[in-house]
Structure 1
Amino acid sequence: MNQPARSGPGPGRQGPGARTRPARAGRTAGRTGSLAGRARRPTARARGLTRHAWGRSLLGAAGIAGTLLLVELLARGGLFDEQALPPATSVLARAAEMAVDDGFLGDLWITVSAWLGGLALAVALAVPAGLLLGSLPRLDTASLAVVELLRPVPSVALIPLAILVFVEPGRVERSLVCYAALWPVLLHTLYGLRDVDPVAKETLRSFGFGPLGVVWRVSLPSAGPHVVTGVRIAASVGLVVAVSAELRAGGDGGLGVYLLATQSGGGRPDLMVAGACWAGALGVAANAVLVGAGRRLFPRRAAAGAGP
């Protein structure tokens, strides 16, 4: 008597469900491994960036130490008079004493307040102006000649005019810093707007966004790294102009006035160089703060090595 054929899988057979389970399990394991690999990639990249930053910091520290050692050897070796080139140890000792000197700290604060005030005013004027000029090509072309005419004018040459217009030393200094810092921020804003993807702008326009919406959502984020770079350059230029204005125009106080006072009564070159070192430390600190801000605001650019 013939037995009916069994429809289910036999001992040596595999049904459709049995065939698909290993394949699905393999695909699931592959996806899990891929996700785990993706999760590990940012960590490895972040570690690479951290090692790179530490390496640069160590090289910078080695460069500073080597420069100080060279100055110390030249001064102690008798190649230069100590009145012309004071030893590095004496300069560092005077700089440390200045950190607890109320008179010097007051002068330093006057310079810093004028410097930061002029820089903030320059950013507040240059970024909107750059966005306006970059969004209106005809206006950009019409103003190009004016920008190229005013940009090369040295801020120090405008000190007599600034004294006549603003009178007060603090306003004179802030106006000169603003004038000098205005151009790097403006030009870098324009450069950033020229790199904006036109497809992204047209896409937003097709969805009904107006000019302000396009500027806010596409143009400004794309130009942001360039703006931060412009602010970094403007900060260095503004500090130089602030001290130079105090040296030329004088005033009630400031780092430039303090440097002038160190040359009275026979002169103290160690105090003068120590004060200049404090100005350099301000510039380094400002640059470090702006670099950190750029990396936080634009982490993708920093991870790609194109950050500000």
Structure 2
Amino acid sequence: MLGAARIAPAALIKPARAVPDAMVAAVAARDPERARAFAARHSIPRVHPDYDQLLADPELDAVYIPTPNGLHARWTLAALAAGKHVLCEKPLTSNEDQAREVADAADAAGLVVMEAFHYRYHPVMARVRGLIDEGAIGAVRHVRATMCFPLPRFSDIRYRLDLAGGAMMDAGCYAVNALRLIGGEPKVSSARATLRSPGVDRAMTARLDFPDGATGELIASLWSRHLLGLSLRVTGDAGWLRVFNYLMPGMYHRLTWHSGGRTHRERVAGESTYTHQLRAFVSAVREDAPVPTSARDGVANMRVIDDIYRAAGLAPRK
């Protein structure tokens, strides 16, 4: 682990206890004292004094990178140069150009880089994709993804421009990924940002056009009148489908779909999204299994994010 991040216990430490082929063997943090306390609290056997020395550890196969957004590219590239596979928190990088550099480096090294869109690995998303592919709601005409949660602590790093912050980066990246899962690779037709400070969005809305004529809508926020929104809705020419809490379906979710005059409600069994994600990462490293949130997919996701910022009159993150 590069960093003793708040997300790490849920995202990696607890899942590793459920995945026999994974072990959290070492941690480093900017504050060595914090790293030692974190390691003691979570029974991590080794503490390195800094990130570089952790990456030089020959006994580690892979690294998890939960650093602030603006540091993802730097440390993912350093990990690849050190011969390590990478599980990197979303968004993969600060912009499309950085994502392409990461993807090229991963390909050249023959190493796995996986962007941690954990929700993609829960069985409910396979069920959603299956219903659409089998024509349960007909041809897709419109997709709407919301990713809103309240973060009124404006000193949080997610509001810092120098660390590639903003609602589009931290929340909107999920919505973009979900829209692409359903509709393919879109073009951004319009976007509107609500700013917290110059260049930093606390909320973003966007409209998109998909190659087959379907349209998309994105609502993302860290602080707006949309206090909480975690839904994905797909409208087809023969029905509709909705997932409530597509982000953390292992905690609670509801899949509802309507077709032929009938409404169906389902719960799809599964473990924590993070446990499913870690299993997929281990399979990619051990067995070269493909992953849907690869570095190359991250390039496409960052392209849309950059285009949304431009359409809203803002510069992509640096």
TM-score (norm 2): 0.22
Larger proportion of helix: 1
Larger proportion of strand: 2
